Amino acid sequence: MATYVIGDIQGCYYSFLKLLKKINFTPRKDNLWLVGDLINRGNGSLQVLRWCYKHKSSVKAILGNHDLHALAAKYNIIPLDNDDTLDKLFKAKDSEKLFDWLRSLPLAHYEKKHLMVHAGVLPNWNLKDILQLSREVSKSLLGKKYITLLKNMYGNEPSQWSNTLTKNHRLRVVINTLTRLRALKKNGAIDFSYKGELKTMPKNLIPWFEHPKRRTKKTPIIFGHWSALGLVVKDNIFAIDTGCVWGRSLTAIELESKHIFSVKTDKKDI
Q: Which domains are present in the chain?
A: 3-269 (3.60.21.10)
Nearest CA to 89 among 116, 107, 71? 71
Rg, the chain, Cα only: 17
Q: How far apart are CA 190 and CA 166, in angstroms?
A: 18
Q: How far apart are CA 233 and CA 239, in angstroms?
A: 7
Please give the pLDDT value at position 25: 97
The reply to whether the predicted model has a pTM over 0.95 is: yes
CA atoms within 13 A on the CB side of 43: 9
Q: How far apart are CA 234 and CA 224, in angstroms?
A: 14
Residue 231 and residue 242 in contact, taking contact as beta carbons nearer than 8 Å:
yes
pLDDT in tens, the chain (270 residues): 899 999 999 999 999 999 999 999 999 999 999 999 999 999 999 999 999 999 999 999 999 999 999 999 999 999 999 999 999 999 999 999 999 999 999 999 999 999 999 999 999 999 999 999 999 999 999 999 999 999 999 999 999 999 999 999 999 999 999 999 999 998 899 999 999 999 999 999 999 999 999 999 999 999 999 999 999 999 999 999 999 999 999 999 999 999 999 999 999 999
Please give the pLDDT value at position 6: 98
Whether residue 27 has a cis bond before it, omega within 30° of 0: no
Kindly report each contact of residues 157-162 with a partner whose C-beta sits within 8 Å and lies 24 or more positions away, as own/partner.
159/189, 159/190, 159/192, 160/187, 160/188, 160/189, 160/190, 161/122, 161/124, 161/125, 161/188
The backbone region for 72, taken as left when phi is positive above 0, alpha when psi lies in -120 to 50, beta otherwise, is alpha
Please give the pLDDT value at position 166: 93
